[in-house]
Amino acid sequence: MHTFFHGWRRKAGVITLAMACVVTCGWLRGRTHIDVVDYSMRFTTVSITSSRRGVMWESDTRPSEYPNEASGFQYNVYEEHGWYEPHFLQIEGHVFGFAGFLFYWRETTADVVGGTLVNAPYWSIAVPLTLLSAYLIIWKPRKRV
């Protein structure tokens, strides 16, 4: 067993497999819960959301006349009831999406909250990590000549 982990490839493969397992656990939890981590600053709020849609990164920029009232981290858990829609997708902006991926952006003006949103479905993270870990663990390194 000691010779199995000799070299960096198999060690990296096991770490990559552990990361794939963590992402898969998030995928399963996202079927029933929505986890939201927010960090608020004076004019910007950054959110990372795990839901049925996947992992979502959202950043809102407020106009200078409407600063955030509080700063700091906040963690919330909600039960999944249908699809979670980010609050500013209801505003007109630039939306581009395909196969579960979603990209959105809107410029901040004097009276409009602008922002950016990027959503990646869990399969797009878990499958490449699993394939990479299989490659690193199974394939033997080439013999040096």
Give the start-to-end residue ranges of the domains of the chain: 1-30+122-145, 34-120
SS3 (DSSP) at 100: coil
Give the model confidence (pLDDT) of 72-105 as tens digits: 778 778 776 654 455 444 444 556 666 678 887 7
Question: How high is the mean pLDDT of the chain?
Answer: 78
Write b or e for each residue in 91-113: b if 16 or more Cβ atoms lie within 10 A of its Cβ, otherwise e. eebeeeeeeeebebebebeeebb
In 3D space, the residue among 40, 31, 56, 43 whose CA is nearest the CA of residue 117 turns out to be: 56
Confidence of residue 106 (pLDDT cuts 50, 70, 90): confident
Global pTM?
Answer: 0.70
